[in-house]
Chain A
C-alpha cells in the first residue's frame, strides 16, 4: 500500500465519499437549512424566507401575545424524557444482555447457533407488529396485568400507555442489539483468564467485575451505542405503547412533518436530536481515549 500515490488512494476512496456526501451529507445540510426557515402554507416550508434561529428558540420559549418570551418546558420535557428513556433502556439492556451473552458463550457450538438464531428471530417480524403484540400482552385484563397487580403492594398497576410501557417496549426491541455484540466479544474470550482469576483468589463476583466485565467492555460499549441511539430517535414504540400520551422526540418530529406540517420546526428538532447523539458518541470516544485506547 505504501507504493500507492495519495492521488491513487483518493481515487479508490472517491466513490464511497461521493455516495456518503450525496446521500448523507447533502440531506443533512438541507435539513439544517430548513431548520432555519419558516413553515409554509401548503408544502411545509417557505423556501425563500429569511433564515433565523426562531425554530430553536421555540424549543424552550414561546412568545406571549405582548411579545415577551415565556419559558415553555413542554418540548424540553419531551427531550428529557427521550434521553431518560434511552438511558434507562440502555442500562436495562446491559443488565439483561450481559448475563444472557455470558450464558450463551458457555454453550456448546450447536447450542450457541440455536441461541443466536432465537435471538435474531424477532427481527423476522416487523417492529410495528411486535409492538402491537406487547399491547395485547400488557392490556388491562391480561395475565401480566393480573399478575403485576397481585404482587405489587402499592395500589393498582397500569402497564399500558405510560413511560413504563414504552420502556418495556424499547428494552424488548433493542435487547438483541446489546446481546449480540457482547456475545461476539465473549466468543473470542479466553476462558483461562477466568480460571486465572479464580486461581489468584478472586471469588465469582470479583472475577466478574475485575476480569470479565472489563474485557467485555468493547462489546458493552458497542451494544450501548446500538441501543441508545435508536432508542433516542424511536417513535413507533412510544406511539403504540405510550398511547400518544407520552411523546418522545421521534414522535414529536414525526408530528411536525405529518399532521402539523411544520417542517422547519421538525428539522430543528432533528438537528437537536442529532446533536445529542453526537454528544454521546464524542463522550464515549473521549472516555475510551482516557482508558488508553486499549478497549
Chain B
C-alpha cells in the first residue's frame, strides 16, 4: 500500500525494547501515511510510543518489523545520516563547542558545499528564525527561546524533506511557547516542508496540526483532523485526553441510557441493552436547562468567571463532579451561587457514547 502522495509512509511497524519475557512492546503494528507539507502531530501521554516512532523515522532506532518510506523510498535500513530528514531535539542538542553560525552550518558542511554556499545558506536559515544577530554567540550564551530558534535553523538549513520535532517547545515557559507555536506554523508555511511533531500537550496539538494521531500503549487510537478528534473522539481515552470532558457512566436500558447519577439519556447509540457505557460531553456543550427540557439536578460547588464564559463545577447526585462551561450567563443574569441547585441539560447532538 504505497501511497505516492505520502511524504512518509509507516507500514505495520513494531518495536520492542528488551528481550524475551521482559520485552516491552513500544509500538504494535503502527501504520500511518503522512502527506507532503502536512503538519502532522503524534500526540499521547508519555510512554505511548510517539517519541519511539519519531526516532524510528529519524533512524536512531531500528525497527523490529514493518517498513518506513520517505517520498516513496524505503529508508528503514539506512543510517540517520543518509535519511532526508532532520530533527529538532527536545533539549535542542546544540553543539556547545560551536558558535550559533557553526551549528547551523554543520549539516551544510557535511554536504561538502562550497564555503560561500555554506555561509550563504546558514545566513538564510538564521535570518528565517531572526537569529542572524547572534551568529557568533555560543549556545550557552542564549536563552531557551533563542536556543530553540537556532535548533530550528540548524535542522532547516539542509532543506530536509521532512522536519521531525520532538517536543521542541516543552522546555519553554507558557508565554514563549505560545509565541513559538505561531512561529513554527509560519516557518512550516515558509519552508513548505512536512513537519512531524511530537507532543503530549493536547492544546498545542490542536492549535498547530493539520492532522493528529492520538497514541496510547504503542498504537494509534485515532488519526484525524483536530476538529474531528475534539468533536468526535473514537475512544473514551481520546475523549478524556483531548480537552476537558465529562464522563458519565451508565447502563443501556431499552431505548435509553440510565446514568449512575440518576439522569437518563434518550437513545441507545448503537449499544445493546444491558451494556455498560460511558457518556461523554464537553463542558461547553452541556448547558443550564430551560424549563421543559430534559434535565437533571446538580449542586454548584464552584463558579469561576472566565470573561468569555462562566465555568461551573457541579456535583451530581452520585457525588461525581461535572464541569459546565456556560456562555450565556452574564447577559444581565447573575451566575448561580455556590451551594445553589441547578438543572443541567445534555443536548443529544453533543453526546458521545463509548463502551465502558
Enumerate chain A interface residues (CB-CB to B < 8 A): 190, 192-193, 195-203, 206, 210-211, 214-215, 294-295
Contacts and interface: CB of A to CB of B under 8 A. Distances in A.
Contact of A210 (B80, B106, B111): B106
Contact of B80 (A198, A206, A211): A198
B91 A199 contact: no
Nearest to B105: A200
Nearest to B55: A195
Given A198-B79, A201-B81, A206 B110 contact: yes
Given A201-B158, A210-B106, A192 B93 contact: yes
A195 B89 contact: yes
A214 B97 contact: yes
B96 interface: yes
Contact of B138 (A195, A197, A294): A294
B93 A195 contact: yes
Contacts of A200: 81, 86, 106-107, 110, 154-155, 158
Given A190-B93, A192-B93, A199 B110 contact: no
Contacts of A210: 106
Q: How large, as a class, is the contact surface on chain B?
A: 20 to 34
Interface string B137-163: 010000000000000001100100000
A295 B94 CA distance: 16
B95 A193 contact: yes
Nearest to B83: A199
Given A196-B87, A200-B107, 10 more contacts: A190-B93, A192-B89, A192-B93, A196-B95, A198-B60, A200-B81, A200-B106, A202-B81, A210-B106, A295-B97
Contacts of A190: 93
Contact of B96 (A198, A201, A206, A215): A215
Nearest to B84: A201
A294 B95 CA distance: 12
A199 B81 contact: yes
Interface in B56-111: 58-60, 79-81, 85-87, 89, 91, 93-97, 106-107, 110-111
Contacts of A195: 58, 60, 80, 87, 89, 93
Secondary structure at the A interface, as helix, strand, loop or mixed, is helix
A134 B202 CA distance: 66
A218 to B, nearest CB: 10
B81 A193 contact: no
B131 to A, nearest CB: 17
Nearest to A201: B110
A200 B60 CA distance: 12
Interface of B: 58-60, 79-81, 85-87, 89, 91, 93-97, 106-107, 110-111, 138, 154-155, 158
Contacts of B85: 199
Contacts of A214: 97
A295 B89 CA distance: 24
Contacts of A202: 81, 106, 110
A64 to B, nearest CB: 57
Nearest to A211: B95
B148 to A, nearest CB: 14
A190 B158 CA distance: 23
Contacts of B158: 200-201
B102 to A, nearest CB: 10
Given A215-B96, A215-B97, A201 B91 contact: no
B85 to A, nearest CB: 8
A196 B155 CA distance: 9
Q: Which of A193, A196, A202, A203 has the most CB of B within 10 A?
A: A196
Given A206-B110, A210-B106, A294-B138, A198 B81 contact: yes
A118 B346 CA distance: 71
Nearest to A207: B81
A195 B59 CA distance: 9
14 contacts: A190-B93, A195-B58, A195-B80, A198-B79, A199-B59, A199-B85, A200-B86, A200-B155, A201-B81, A202-B81, A215-B96, A215-B97, A294-B97, A294-B138
B86 A199 contact: yes
A191 B86 CA distance: 17
Contacts of A203: 79, 81
B97 A199 contact: no
B91 A197 contact: no
Nearest to A295: B97
B59 A193 contact: no
A199 B87 contact: yes
Nearest to B104: A200
Contacts of B79: 198, 203
A203 to B, nearest CB: 5
A140 B259 CA distance: 94
